[in-house]
Amino acid sequence: MMAGFVNWFRCPSCQSGQLHDDPMGRSPIITCVSCHKRYCFHHQELWHETMTCDEYDQFLLDPDNFRSEFETENERAERVQEVEQRRRREMEASDRRYAESLVREENHRRDFQAWCARDDGVAWEEAERGHAKSKSATRDERERVEAERKAAQKKNQFAQDKAKAIEEVKRKKAEKLASEATIQKTTKRCPGFLCGRPIERNEGCAHMTGLLCGHEFCYECLADHQAILKSGNTKHKRGCMYHPDNLPGIDEEEWDDSYM
């Protein structure tokens, strides 16, 4: 079966299977050939964007307090960007005030000249130039505000995505703990050599067979079935309900029937 290969990958979304070219670590990202989603081969989950595999392992251990290198660098870049934006706004405001003062002075001068020369055309052209400068400053301000809005939106989206990832990890942990508790309560480990897989007895006799290892045993006491066939029910552990000591008045054939 292909599932026996160490580089075999089954997509959790569409259940399509494929071989991964580099399962040992240099390239853990694998793209499903069917649904085209990107997954992490090591974790068998959707690729953890912005985190390496080592970082994702740390995130799984402590999702609430984990900080990735990507986040740290982003925060540092944001602080630098905030300082630069503040300086740029201060410089733009200073330049705008200075430009406005020059426009006012020039307008006064032109108005005076126009009044003296009675030439309204010159003053009108200067007023138009001042209006164009004002429109340009307004446009620059709108572009700056829009850039800041997009940066804030991107930051909020990242925070929301991380919050969802944290909740997903917590949910999976809770489900895993609940599943392990249920398995611990309702199953027993197969005593077969190097097996140990959980086996649940739904109904019927206590004679069990491991699906993978083929080992046969008593579900109640885990005694080896071949030893029981060879030497009788005395091979059950003494505390087992099928041990002869716990079945008074029942002959050997009835013991076998009760166990088998």
Query: Per-residue pLDDT for the chain (260 aa), expressed as one digit of tens each?
Result: 454 567 788 888 888 888 888 756 578 898 999 999 999 888 888 888 888 888 888 888 888 888 777 777 777 777 777 777 777 887 777 777 777 777 777 777 776 666 555 544 555 565 556 556 666 666 777 777 777 778 778 777 877 888 888 888 888 888 888 888 888 888 899 998 888 888 888 877 889 998 888 999 999 999 999 999 999 899 999 999 989 888 876 655 555 555 55
Residue owning tokens 């670590």:
25
pLDDT value of residue 1: 46
Q: What is the DSSP letter of 211?
A: T
Tokens 């398995």 -> residue: 183
Which residues have CB under 8 Å from 64's CB, separation 6+?
166
DSSP helix, strand, coil percent of the chain (3-state; round to 5)? 55, 10, 30
The CA distance from 91 to 99, in Å, is 12
Cα separation of 116 and 121, whole Å? 13
Residue 185's Cβ-count burial label (10 Å; 0-12, 13-18, 19+) is exposed
Question: 233 pairs with which residues across the strands?
Answer: none
| Single pTM value for the model | 0.40
Query: What are the beta bridge partners of residue 18?
Result: 9
